[in-house]
Amino acid sequence: MSATASASESIEALNQVLAYLVSERQLLRSHGASSVELEANRKAIVAMQWRLNRRLADEHRGVSFADDA
């Protein structure tokens, strides 16, 4: 498998995790979750957005993904 195909799968996987975290947040809010739970979820969303943004920027620049786990 090429680095580009591998990177695309990684981007897709990151997007899926991000979508899950966002739906989890909606569920937490609808069930009256505590501020601590919401903050933990918010931090997870921000971290995932950062990872996704970094991966997309690296792909745009043509950086290898072999060392980014």
Give Cβ neighbours of residue 10 (< 8 Å, ≥ 6 apart): 55, 65
The whole-number pLDDT of residue 2 equals: 47
Among candidates 11, 12, 13, 37, which has minimal Cα distance to 25? 37
| Domain ranges for the chain | 3-61
11-63 per-position pLDDT tens digit: 999 999 999 999 999 999 999 999 999 999 999 999 999 999 999 998 888 86
Find, among 25, 23, 19, 51, the residue nearest to 38 by Cα.
25
- Residue-level pLDDT at 34: 98
Q: What is the pLDDT of residue 1?
A: 45
C-alpha separations of 16 from 3, 21, 34, 41 in Å? 20, 9, 25, 15
